[in-house]
Amino acid sequence: MARSRYAAAAVIVPTAIALASCSNTQPSVNRRPQSGSATASMVNGIQQVTVKAGDTYRFDPSTITVHPGKVQIVLLNTGSGAPHNWSLLGLSVTTPLAPSGGSQAVTFTAPGPGTYTFVCTIHQRQGQTGKLVVLPG
């Protein structure tokens, strides 16, 4: 009788541990909150925003507000590891990869009024996303 209890425990305990580890299938990096918002500032007639990306796989700010017209996004990689980029989904607007400690920029004409998603194309699955809000003219 004792032998069958040990055999049952040998099956039940590892199964319970495996199930518990599967209960949260989203890695902790994906659960980190997004932060910050900024409105573009005019620099030499172009709306400009500096966005930081680093080892947290988040953009700061994660919400950017612009007006119609030319926009420049400057991506600053403050991390010590992976490169990052800034890409506006659905449009051909992407910075080159910024290595750790480096920066890249992209200039484009803001799309029509609305809310658009931007991502790091390398770390989108880790939740490195944000929103570009284009105000009406």
- Residue 121 CA to residue 85 CA, distance in Å, equals 7
- Residue 101 CA to residue 90 CA, distance in Å, equals 28
CATH superfamily of 29-134: Cupredoxins -  blue copper proteins (2.60.40.420)
| pTM assigned to the model | 0.77
Query: Given this model, what pLDDT does residue 97 score?
Result: 98
Bond into 61 cis (ω within 30): yes
- Across-strand partners of 93? 88
Query: Given this model, what pLDDT does residue 20 score?
Result: 42
Q: List, for residues 109-120, the tens digit of each pLDDT value.
A: 999 999 999 999
Residue-range domain boundaries for the chain: 29-134
Query: Given this model, what pLDDT does residue 137 score?
Result: 84
Query: Given this model, what pLDDT does residue 32 score?
Result: 64
Q: List, for residues 57-104, the tens digit of each pLDDT value.
A: 999 999 999 999 999 999 999 999 999 999 999 999 999 999 999 999
